[in-house]
Amino acid sequence: MVPRKISEPFYHGRAWQHTRAAYIKSVGGLCERCLAKGIIKPGYIVHHKHYITEDNINDPNVTLSWNNLEYLCFACHQEEHFGSAEVTRDGLKFDSHGNLIPVADSPRG
């Protein structure tokens, strides 16, 4: 997992916001994996097929290349990272960028 102090500037950066929005539009706002199974389900997060790490977060070929992006619903994204659609480990949740954060950090509390 990339530390938030490193990933935060990227996810808040204009380049990612722009790429993300354009990509979501290109796939019609639907989860790509569900759609492949014939299920119409809105996507939740743009996932990086090649996971972002501290080493590649400044490499646009990884972070901003459409070839590396996949729009997924929450369940498919959970499955990708954890092998099941179960809720994450106790005390952790995904934020809107797909980073695992302590539930205590959640705006919803």
Residues that bind Zn ion (CB under 5 A): 31, 33-34, 47, 73, 76, 98
Burial class (CB in 10 A: 0-12, 13-18, 19+), 36: exposed
Which is closer to Zn ion, CB of 9 or CB of 37? 37
AA identity, residue 69: L
What minimum distance in Å lies between the beta carbon of 80 and Zn ion? Answer: 6
Which is closer to Zn ion, CB of 21 or CB of 48? 48
What minimum distance in Å lies between the beta carbon of 60 and Zn ion? Answer: 18
Which is closer to Zn ion, CB of 37 or CB of 109? 37
Which is closer to Zn ion, CB of 62 or CB of 76? 76
What minimum distance in Å lies between the beta carbon of 48 and Zn ion? Answer: 6
**Residue 35 C-beta-side C-alpha neighbours within 13 Å:** 12
User: Quick count: other Cβ atoms within 10 Å of Cβ 62?
Assistant: 18
User: Quick count: other Cβ atoms within 10 Å of Cβ 30?
Assistant: 17
